[in-house]
Structure 1
Amino acid sequence: MALSNSEKYDEDVFEIEDFTIVTIKEGLCAELEQLLRKWELVGDIGNNYSFTKTSLAECQWDSKYQEITYGNNHLLVTHYWPKNLKKLEQTEKPDESTENYLDSFLCNAARLVYSSETDFCPGSIICNQFGVLEFIILTPSNWLVDKVSNEDQLRGLLSYGESERQLYFGVCQNNSMRTNFESVHLRQGHPLRCHLSGCIDIFKETLNSSLMDDRNLRSSVQFDYVLQDKFHHGNVDKKISLEEMAPAEDVGIVDTSHLPFGAASDAIEEFGLSAIWLNVERGVVIEEQNVSNLDPRGALSWSSWVLIRKTTTYLMSSCLRKLLEIAQSEEGSGLIMKVSEHTNQDATRALSSLLFPATPQSISIESTKRMPSQVQLKSDVIQQLLDMVFKNTQQISMSKDMPSHNEFFDLTYSEEKRPTSAPGGAVKNESKLSDKCIMEDEDTKDIYQKLHDMLMTCKAAPEGSLTCRISIALAKMLSVQNYAPTNFPQIWSAITRELQNYYDANLPVPGIDESSLPNLSTCKLHQNFQLLQCAIEAKKGWESRNQVRREECNRFESDKLNVSNVGIVKDDEFFDAPEFFDKNDSKNLESPDSWISQGRLRPFGEMKLLNFPDRIMYEPITQSRMPVTEDMLDKYTEYLSSLKDQEERVKAQLEPLFSDMEAFKAANPGCSFEDFVRWHSPRDFVVDGNHLSHRMIGDDNTWQQTWNQAQPKPVCRQKMLFNYSKAANEIINDFESLTLSKLIIYILPVLVKSASMQLIEESKYYFALVGDKLFALCRKVLDCTINGSIENYWSVVKDVTEIEKLVSCCNILYTQLIFAVDKKLTENEKYEIRQFIMSLMRLSELDCESMTSGGKAGAGYRIPVNGGLCGPVGLALKNLFFGKRTFEQILSGDEEVPYRRRQYTIRCSARKPTLGSRTLPQRLYAAISREEYRICLALSSDTVLS
């Protein structure tokens, strides 16, 4: 019975099929709703901000995004908000008795429409066009989000059309109202609708004037003027002139004391000025097609901005960048002497123009396409280049590294002659900038000193040394001509031959300290120059004093020696010891025992020999320690490592000690090992017990064994520790066997340090702008000069480019503003102009390329002009932009007037959609120029009383 019932029950069971279809739009809405809940963008809490016009002027925008799907398409949902504005907490609803209760039904977006602070907001085209601060954008498609069920009151906007047109529309809605955002973009508007009165007419027609309360209609107006191609007279594409890199005091040669600096072409893309009238009542301002009372020179407020051209080449960073590119290229692996056999006509012209810039060619530092034919360089051209490097170096004092505090802050500047404003106008012909006085600010001095101290610890070369001038001369060759593979080798080969000539002629190398040994804290190239200088000094000393020393040594030889043989002394039997004889030597030589003492320098205090208490202990003339470079130390370390026996390694290091022992025995006949220890290593002799220390006792003691082997022999009879001839030949041979890459690696530490030094000097007015960047650069320079990594050098060049760009643009702007003023400015006024320029450059560094900036369709970051036209900045801007033009000429829109566009923001209250609806805020934004006509509307409607 139960079985039959269950079978009957099964027959009654049937399946229910669900034919519900989820459309693509419904799926999109569900995915959007889920995303908004995930981001906690629910309700009207959390999207209200406290702000002022000043805070909005520097407002920066943050964002987060996530990808969603729409059918087969992928859309990007991006949430934008102002990250540096303070959010207001909304925890309670307003009381019914307060005034705020009357508009409590408004969402925050609608309340912002009433605010004039959002007019012409920089940094965000959405805020500029619609007056909202926080919003969501969907990109890229052409549809509208038509339903959101989580009561999110953020503005939802959709980007459509071509990206450069910056077209958006969207909606913001709560339970009581809805605000629609709409925009229109045309190439040209109707002449009657291209002024303030025409825009008000459009607003009235859109809202229906019968529903509009025009008593509270307010307007904000902004006229934008842009200087384009005003900073450089002449053709923008003009090539760099060598005259701009020649020193002012001698235009016949190029200065090799510093690298070229500045922009090679126009660095300023736009320099703009805006005249602003904010929140003006209707009737106060009048602007129609033929009538206007809006004189920009009488505006209520002013603001300015600058855009930097991204494609501009900067000379200093270009030099360094090309060096790195060559070092990493295939042609950089070629031997210099092999490459130098193949010269070309372009290299000849490069050197000729480098040395004779009176008739410069039009040259480019960018084009490298043409391959020149090969022609031998002229010897007279090369010789003049060598004179420029070596003889100019000889005139520079090596004690001059950097200016002192007083010198640095006491520079003079003459405004009698205006500097050139041609392309490359930021190229510095002198290392010192303009202005008589720099702010006597302790912080500025402290920054300068810290930067200077950091660079002084770099493993490079002293400023003004031959190493610096050679490195800069090689780098400058890239700036004055298209790079040819033979330029570097030919110059370097000529420099190598010149160094050989200095050695052969016993002439000191100019720009290298004659009295110092190779400094291991400097770069390898400078160490080699120092070693060559030591070899020259040793050779010169040997040849000049050899005869005197031979005679002195041979006084104690047997009379059987032929005087004619005195002149025969082998090179490896003499060393240029820095000796001078004691005045008492002549008396000692006449004593009975003086015939066996040789090479005495001076008495060693009041000490006497232990075995002969009546004899004074003399300090011997010894050989100076062998000068070594970093490469020589590395080779010596490898040699010691190759020796397997410990005794052999010890003996390999005893040559200086052995030489000192022989010299001591010759100067002190009858001396003992204890006497030598008392002179050479006093700590190893116990005075109280009159005996040697523990480590000096024992038959197996290395010092004892060496002493037993040493014979009395003055330095004039000893084998040289430093073979100057061998050292000089090795240096020259190493220079001749360098590859291009190795040579570039040699000069890079010098160049990056010199570039940093020069940047500090050029930036002395702008430490407040680039101080942090300079500190970061100096730290990188310090690191890369020690480690020598190519990747680190690339990072340095990147920082150099950024700082050079900022300082060059500051110099250009400062020059133009200073000379736009038709009166002599005080130091305080100049300081105010510099501060204004630094503010411009800071804002230009902000990211204006995000989607919200809007490019030229938006409003970039701007700096208010304090004091209007009454201050030095305003006066300079007025003269620079308008000159002596009349009001009628400015309004006529003449081509010579730097007009760009007019912007209008109009707001009022209106009942929409019907007369019975509540009064809601409405907003219109218009941007009108010769290239475009744009209208953006934020129209609110009552969804309850409709």
Structure 2
Amino acid sequence: SQDPSLPEFKDFTTATEWEKFIASLEQLIEEWRLPNIVSTGPLANVSTGALGGGEWKSRSETVSFASFRMMVTRHYLEGSTKERSEEDQAKEALEETEEYQESLPFAMDDLLSFTNDFPAKAHFLVRWYGIRDFLLITPDMGDDTISTVDRQKMLLGSVCTALRNTNCQLPFFIQMHHPQEKIACGVMCAQGFHCYFNMVKLVHTPKGYDTLNGLLTLFKNKLCNSSFYTHLPVDVSIRFTYMLDDWSFFDLNSIPSHSLDVDQVIKFGDLPMGAGVEPISEFRLMVSWPHLAEDVVNDSIAHSDLVPANAPEWCVTIKYVSGPYCYLENYLGEFETVLSKNESLDLVLGSMLSDDIDPELANVMDRLAEPKVRVPDLAASIMPSDTREKRRRLTDDEILIKFMNYIFIPSIDQETVLSSSGHIDFGDISTALGSQSAEKLEEADEVEKFKEKLRALKTSSKNSIVWRLSLALIEAYHTCGGIEGLALLWVKVVGELRHHFERGYIISSIEPGAPNLGMCLLHQKIQMLNCCIETRNARELRESRKQKKKVPIDRMANCHFKMPPQSENPTEGENSSSDEDFFECSDSTSTSEPVGDDKSEGTPIQSPDDFKTLDDAPLSAEGRSKPFGALKLLSTDEQMWVPVCQQPSPMTEDMLQEQADAILKLASDPECSKMTARLQSASLFSDMESFKAANPGCQLADFVRWFSPRDWTEPIRDEKGEIVKAGELSQRMTIPGNMWQDLWEQARPAPTTRQKRLFDDTKEGEKILHELITMSLSDIANLLFPCIIQCGLEKICESVHKGPRDMIPFMEHLIEKTKQELRMRRPNYKDLIRRMYEAEIGIARAESLRQKLFRKEEPEETESSLKRYLAMKAQESSTVSVEELVLDLLDKPEVEIRGGAKSAVGRAITKLFENAQKAKLEDTTLSTKSRRLPASQQFPTPIGKEFILRTKYPRPSNNSRTGAHRIYAVITGNEFRLAGAFTEDMLFY
């Protein structure tokens, strides 16, 4: 222990927290190699406007002052600075020993540069001081800020010490108060100069200091307190900002709300589009006077030469309304909520009771194939009671008839649009753009590609019944009672489809043949229903021929199933009437689609009882189509005939998925392997029976030679033509227990007229109708949305040339995204609507700007015809330049107007502000509105004034070296801010 008699020892060599902080700053500066940073040249050589349009980068690190953590960040313009090489360092060291450099540090050159004044988008320190590379230290402890003068001076002294010890020439700033205040102080130490950066922010503007003359007096008084300052030359840059944010004076001709009218019900395809509110919140004009001598312009309280019409530089910018209401997004977005509604139709329509229901439709479910399935009570689903609100206008007979006519009775122009290929074909956009510029024509060529891309979407043919049904149902949802209107119209449509099915009327406006798996599911189901109707009509026609009866012409007028061919190759013993009894499915039905059903009616393996009226084999051939080349039967050496076969049952994608799931489930159970084989071999078994009927005495090898030639090896003959090796079946056909052999043994000779139908049109039709009528609201919406999305995309594509320049690549990406989503089981419709909303907003903004800037003024009646003609030509010539301005405003933060007020664009902008000023005048007579305002009254009071004053002057004495000095002043409303940079020579006082 220490002897208490000895004096207490204090170690004064221990580093303090202040010294540790300075050491950490120095270490950070050395690690980042900041002392070796030099400029690549003046900012003017980099590029004009580089501070606002260049690429800025940053790098951050955390330092601590005791327990107070701070973040040091370096902000620098890419390409404007570089790191010195060792050779440059040695050369500069030699020059410094011989003679001290007279050039200023590059940061001081930036303070005096006028090529990058008022950058469009930059850090607030960059805008106020025009520097390209600097350091900023900010508190990193939440709400704690540097708000006291003591903290400010301590940090500023620490920074100054670190900069001098490391010979770093970059400006170093300290964030003061809250970051939203944008207040900072800083220092730069380079080549014996100290440049101090300070700011002043007031909530009011001192009298006289909102003019250039007042600021010049303030600036010169700061530099020197003597009469000599009156002869100090000062360079000036000025910018005034004018704003329009009230468009009440302007007739926007906005799109009216999409409301239902009795006379406009049939206009379902015209989806609403556009902004419901003004999408442009502010239109700002910035006029500038760059690099002026102070004695060139006079701006005082009494008089000002700063008139916008005389400004050499004009820039404009716009601000948008955040998330404006748009019609198409609202139209689709509200319907998207139906996807989450799992209510059934009977639950939605259960309260709508009426005695006027069609009895045939009321008992529609009693005729379903599965009576045990619970069906909705639709007894009151067609007409509501008189107590229901009148807003459900779908209950009006006139409105309902218009809906049903639009869905089921296509107009002439709709029929012409529906092509056999089933693809979309909307207007020729290039024709509409024929009078535009070359750039617009190139864009029109790009737009033409959208037609090809939209055809690949998994939806439906434009103006098909599915297309019209989707548009009619979403219209009923929006204008006829919401989900009740949707459910009511859906029930009525299903009732009409049943009427077509039971009466044998072909459903028009849809491609013939089997379901097209490239279309949406609703399209496939209606195609499937048409197949059922066509099959039954063909069957009844054959029966009527037998019975010498006629079938109504209107039922077969649109039948796309081919009639059985007449006997083309009559032979001895062939039944000439067998072809008339032939049951034939659609030629477009795919032969590769699997068929099967676990019901007894669809079982391909027939029991012997099914042939109790037949002998073991027919005495004569039946169901022959044509000879199969020159092949002979192996056992009888007779001609081999191609049989008339049943085609596999057409199937929709959900039916295929259901069958695949059933097969997969049965395959996992060994005991169900026979049932699985039956599901997959129904068509094969039918073909075997038809082949036996057409070729009496045939063998399995004969059938394989016709059905699967690859499983048969032809006999090998020698040079004399004698058979050396007989033909034989492949190995897979001779394996014991082979399914083909089992089916061949069970198959009996039976033409298609005596076989069980592979495609039961009655059962399949009832199954589809039952599925449609028992759907929930969400299932209905899922069926409708593909066509609705495509219709919305088509609406946008019609106006894609009116949007920003990046609208075409954006729409290409959106269509590809939609193509992928619609092929998924659960498409993300919310994301697609959001992306369509972005395109809708872009087009709405562009159209709003065009309406404001393209407004043409009618010449006065007193003017001569020649003057009116010349005025019209001048307006036409300015159209292209104004269009370029609109597109630039949508792409850039600021757009420079070349020529200022004298250009065509400048005249359009001046007219826009002048119209706003006229609307504010108290005297709004016709004569006041028509006459031109003087130049001093064409624009309102500027909302912002910016002044930059800069000079070179020796401080602190006349014997000091000349340093750079700069002051930036901004006056906005009641806020007054000064940001000054003043240099002192620390070597020569």
Shorter-chain TM-score: what band?
A: 0.7 to 0.9
1:119, CA displacement in angstroms?
Answer: 0.9
Aligned to 1:841: 890
Structure 1 counterpart of 2:779, from 739, 742, 746: 742
1:279, CA displacement in angstroms?
Answer: 0.9
1:922, CA displacement in angstroms?
Answer: 1.7
Distance (Å, rounded) in 2 between the aligned partners of 1:937 and 1:343:
77
1:51, CA displacement in angstroms?
Answer: 2.4
Work out whether residues 42 and 150 of structure 1, in 8 Å CA contact, stay in contact via their aligned partners in 2: no
Structure 1 counterpart of 2:146, from 141, 144, 147: 141
Distance (Å, rounded) in 1 between the aligned partners of 2:345 and 2:81:
64
Matched, 1:401 2:396: no
Aligned to 2:514: 517
- Aligned residue for 1:652, secondary structure, equals helix
Question: Which of 1 and 2 has greater Rg?
Answer: 2
Aligned to 1:429: none
Structure 2 counterpart of 1:865, from 897, 917, 937: 897
Cα 1:524–1:796, aligned 2, differ >3 Å: closer, same or farther?
A: same
Cα 1:233–1:72, aligned 2, differ >3 Å: closer, same or farther?
A: farther
1:225-246 Cα deviation digits (max 9, x unpaired): 223243995799x996126x99
Cα 1:649–1:221, aligned 2, differ >3 Å: closer, same or farther?
A: same
Matched AA of 1:378: T
1:400-439 Cα deviation digits (max 9, x unpaired): 73448x93422269xxxxxxxxxxxxxxxxxxxxx66774
Work out whether residues 47 and 154 of structure 1, in 8 Å CA contact, stay in contact via their aligned partners in 2: no
1:766-822 Cα deviation digits (max 9, x unpaired): 5741344334433432332233456x5444444333333223222322343333587
Distance (Å, rounded) in 2 between the aligned partners of 1:211 and 1:888:
44
CA RMSD of aligned residues (A): 4.6
Aligned to 1:355: none
Distance (Å, rounded) in 2 between the aligned partners of 1:326 and 1:633:
27
Work out whether residues 51 and 86 of structure 1, in 8 Å CA contact, stay in contact via their aligned partners in 2: no
Q: Following superposition of structure 1 onto structure 2, how do residues 555-634 of structure 1 map, counting pairs within 5 Å?
A: 578-582=562-566, 584=568, 596-602=620-626, 604=628, 618-634=641-657
Distance (Å, rounded) in 2 between the aligned partners of 1:476 and 1:15:
94
Aligned to 1:535: 532
> Greater shift after overlay, 823-832 or 186-195?
823-832
Distance (Å, rounded) in 2 between the aligned partners of 1:824 and 1:735:
61
Distance (Å, rounded) in 2 between the aligned partners of 1:592 and 1:718:
19
Distance (Å, rounded) in 2 between the aligned partners of 1:106 and 1:686:
97
Matched AA of 1:200: L
1:655, CA displacement in angstroms?
Answer: 1.3
* Length-normalised TM-score, structure 1: 0.76
Matched, 1:879 2:947: no
Distance (Å, rounded) in 2 between the aligned partners of 1:84 and 1:466:
61
Cα 1:601–1:403, aligned 2, differ >3 Å: closer, same or farther?
A: same
Cα 1:59–1:584, aligned 2, differ >3 Å: closer, same or farther?
A: closer
Q: Structure 1: which 5+ runs fail to align?
A: 1-6, 345-371, 414-434, 553-563, 568-574, 844-860
Q: Following superposition of structure 1 onto structure 2, how do residues 927-942 of structure 1 map, counting pairs within 5 Å?
A: 927-942=970-985
Structure 2 counterpart of 1:926, from 945, 969, 976: 969
1:297-352 Cα deviation digits (max 9, x unpaired): 34322222122222313333444544555545xxx2333442243579xxxxxxxx
Q: Structure 2: which 5+ runs fail to align?
A: 140-144, 354-387, 552-558, 579-618, 717-725, 858-870, 919-930
Matched AA of 2:147: N
Aligned to 2:746: 709
Work out whether residues 893 and 899 of structure 1, in 8 Å CA contact, stay in contact via their aligned partners in 2: no
Aligned to 1:900: 943
Matched AA of 2:847: N
* Length-normalised TM-score, structure 2: 0.73
Aligned to 1:804: 840
- Aligned residue for 2:108, secondary structure, equals helix
Work out whether residues 409 and 437 of structure 1, in 8 Å CA contact, stay in contact via their aligned partners in 2: no
Distance (Å, rounded) in 2 between the aligned partners of 1:457 and 1:940:
68
- Aligned residue for 1:192, secondary structure, equals coil
Work out whether residues 327 and 740 of structure 1, in 8 Å CA contact, stay in contact via their aligned partners in 2: yes
Aligned to 2:854: 818
Structure 2 counterpart of 1:63, from 45, 58, 64: 58
Aligned to 1:206: 222
- Aligned residue for 1:153, secondary structure, equals coil
Aligned to 1:333: 342
- Aligned residue for 1:864, secondary structure, equals strand
- Aligned residue for 2:195, secondary structure, equals strand
- Aligned residue for 1:80, secondary structure, equals strand
Distance (Å, rounded) in 2 between the aligned partners of 1:836 and 1:698:
79
- Aligned residue for 2:823, secondary structure, equals helix
Aligned to 1:354: none
- Aligned residue for 2:775, secondary structure, equals coil
Distance (Å, rounded) in 2 between the aligned partners of 1:775 and 1:830:
28
Aligned to 2:272: 260
Distance (Å, rounded) in 1 between the aligned partners of 2:304 and 2:101:
36
Aligned to 1:428: none
Distance (Å, rounded) in 1 between the aligned partners of 2:489 and 2:816:
32
Matched AA of 1:877: I
Matched, 1:385 2:403: yes
Matched AA of 1:943: M
Aligned to 1:654: 681
Distance (Å, rounded) in 2 between the aligned partners of 1:83 and 1:390:
65
Distance (Å, rounded) in 2 between the aligned partners of 1:443 and 1:436:
10
Distance (Å, rounded) in 2 between the aligned partners of 1:592 and 1:801:
65
Distance (Å, rounded) in 1 between the aligned partners of 2:70 and 2:495:
68
1:201, CA displacement in angstroms?
Answer: 2.4
- Aligned residue for 2:517, secondary structure, equals coil
1:219, CA displacement in angstroms?
Answer: 1.5
Work out whether residues 678 and 685 of structure 1, in 8 Å CA contact, stay in contact via their aligned partners in 2: yes
Work out whether residues 51 and 130 of structure 2, in 8 Å CA contact, stay in contact via their aligned partners in 1: no
Structure 2 counterpart of 1:116, from 114, 117, 121: 114
Work out whether residues 531 and 627 of structure 1, in 8 Å CA contact, stay in contact via their aligned partners in 2: yes
Distance (Å, rounded) in 2 between the aligned partners of 1:373 and 1:36:
77
Aligned to 2:234: 217
Structure 1 counterpart of 2:307, from 276, 284, 295: 295
Q: Following superposition of structure 1 onto structure 2, how do residues 167-186 of structure 1 map, counting pairs within 5 Å?
A: 167-174=183-190, 176-186=192-202
Distance (Å, rounded) in 2 between the aligned partners of 1:408 and 1:706:
60
- Aligned residue for 1:53, secondary structure, equals coil
Work out whether residues 951 and 965 of structure 2, in 8 Å CA contact, stay in contact via their aligned partners in 1: yes
Matched AA of 1:333: N
Work out whether residues 212 and 911 of structure 1, in 8 Å CA contact, stay in contact via their aligned partners in 2: no
- Aligned residue for 1:283, secondary structure, equals coil
1:96-150 Cα deviation digits (max 9, x unpaired): 999x998746333221111001211121232222222233332543253312233
Work out whether residues 663 and 713 of structure 1, in 8 Å CA contact, stay in contact via their aligned partners in 2: yes
1:47, CA displacement in angstroms?
Answer: 8.9
Distance (Å, rounded) in 2 between the aligned partners of 1:459 and 1:701:
40
Q: Following superposition of structure 1 onto structure 2, how do residues 437-516 of structure 1 map, counting pairs within 5 Å?
A: 439=439, 445=445, 449=449, 455-475=454-474, 486-513=484-511, 515-516=512-513
Work out whether residues 220 and 230 of structure 2, in 8 Å CA contact, stay in contact via their aligned partners in 1: no
Cα 1:296–1:444, aligned 2, differ >3 Å: closer, same or farther?
A: same
- Aligned residue for 1:938, secondary structure, equals strand
> Greater shift after overlay, 126-135 or 831-840?
831-840
- Aligned residue for 2:432, secondary structure, equals coil
Aligned to 2:358: none
**How many equivalent pairs are there?**
837
Matched AA of 1:279: H
The percent identity for this pair of structures is 23
Cα 1:593–1:194, aligned 2, differ >3 Å: closer, same or farther?
A: closer
Structure 2 counterpart of 1:277, from 289, 305, 310: 289
Matched AA of 1:111: D
> Greater shift after overlay, 485-494 or 645-654?
485-494
1:625-658 Cα deviation digits (max 9, x unpaired): 2111222112212322343343432232221122
Aligned to 2:126: 127
